[in-house]
Structures are given as C-alpha cells and as structure tokens.
Amino acid sequence: MENICFDFSDFHRHGRAFYEFLELRKRIFVDQLKWDVPHNDTVEMDQYDTPVAHYSLVLRDGRVIGGARTMATSSVWGDHTYMLRDAWSGKLPHIPRHVMSVEIASPLVWECTRLVISDEITGQADRAECLTLICDGLVEMARAKGATTMISLSPLPFMRAMRQLGYQVTLLGEAYRGDEDGRQYGVMKMPTEYSTARRVQMEAAHVATPLTAPRRVPVELYRPQIRQPELAGAVA
C-alpha cells in the first residue's frame, strides 16, 4: 500500500485516483449506507469537494482502496464553510445543530470528512494499515499548514479503532443517532500527531518522510486488531 496526498492544484498528477475516490465514496455511503448526499450512478461528490479541500488516499496495485478529505475550519467556499460549522449553522438537515457546542473557525483546527475504506479490504491487519496511511497523510498535510488539532464527525466505535493505532482521540460534545443509517455519531478531536507505527518509523530514521513521497507504514512494528465494522464509512 502507498499513500498519496494532494489538493485541486495537483490531483491531475495522480491519474484517476481522485475520481476513483469519488466512486468508492458512492459505493459505501450511497449504495451501502443509503446516505442522502449528492451523487449520480457512479460517484458521490458534495459541496465540500472544492479547491480548499485536501485529500489523503491509499493505493494498492495502482487502485484506490481508501481515503479521506480534510480542510481548515477557517475555510470558506461560496455559501459554505466546512461540514460541522454548516451543521452548527443549521444548513445540513441530517446533522443536528447541537453536535457542535461551540463554533470553531481557526487555521489551527482542521476537519476530516469522508473517510472510507473499500470493503474489498477484509483482513484486520490490511484495514489497520490502510487506515493508518490515510490518517497519517491527513495529519501530515494539516501539520504542514501549522494545524495543531483535527476534528471529525464519526461513528463512536471509530474512536477505539483510532486509539488502537496510537492516535489520541477524545469525544467533543454529545453523541446522536443518525437518521439515515441508525449509527451513533459524535464529534471527535485529536492533536496532529502521527500513529504509533509512523512515530516508530520516524524515530528509527531520525527524519520525517517528505510529503510528496509514497509512504509505507511498517505494520510489522505495530499490528493492532481492528474489526471491519469500525472502519466502514468511518467519517461523515
């Protein structure tokens, strides 16, 4: 597996990767979870896929098997800011306003959304490796812009999965049950720190991996056991 990170300025360098990510999102969020989000017969793409968004994807044998999106909570594009702030403002009917107890708009805080792993990746170790690569890519992009904190709206079991990988995830605010898929969701936050596997790798090498280079996490150094349901459509 390898990780690629990009925004709208350079996604063309990665061939069909961005489009394959949108296809994967449609299969999981629309076909399986039945979310009422913008889509056609092939892809899911919403109002937050804009030039202020950044993407961390994972490839295996040249195909996208997972990915996620992130942006600063100070982002604005047209009538929209970022997902949780728009929910707090009452713009998103499927996310209750109370999920955010305070309004956050800071370049130091980045929101992560649309985290997804293909259901073709069934092994626990493989899914853990894929999730680690996605999240370490998100952390790296946010850190490069000076961010110190990341937030996301995620199913509650996702917090345990992330902690198993070494991320310091805590719950921020009240949980609620989603009216589309029946799952319990809550806003989670964590510092922009890498996974245990990435920290071990960096300590061994004494240098950080460059942003543009493909990264492979040495899962043999840290191989947690994560059940598949905790990673399916993990982040709204």
Taking the whole predicted model, whether its pTM rises above 0.75 is answered as: yes
Alpha carbons 116 and 68: distance in angstroms, whole number: 6
Site of tokens 């800011």: 81
Write down the domain spans for the chain: 2-231
Predicted local confidence at residue 229, as pLDDT: 40
Predicted local confidence at residue 56, as pLDDT: 98
Predicted local confidence at residue 180, as pLDDT: 81
CATH 3.30.565.10 fits 2-231, yes or no: no
Predicted local confidence at residue 223, as pLDDT: 40
Alpha carbons 163 and 96: distance in angstroms, whole number: 26
Task: Please state at what angle helix 196-205 crosses helix 124-144, rounded to 10 degrees.
Answer: 70
The structure tokens listed for 60 are 């295996």
How far is the CA of 13 from the CAs of 2, 55, 223, in angstroms? 15, 13, 32
Predicted local confidence at residue 42, as pLDDT: 96
The pLDDT tens digits along the chain (236 residues) read 999 999 999 999 999 999 999 999 999 999 999 999 999 999 999 999 999 999 999 999 999 999 999 999 999 999 999 999 999 999 998 899 888 888 899 999 999 999 999 999 999 999 999 999 999 999 999 999 999 999 999 999 999 999 999 999 999 888 888 888 888 999 999 999 999 999 998 888 875 555 555 454 444 333 444 444 444 455 66
Predicted local confidence at residue 169, as pLDDT: 96
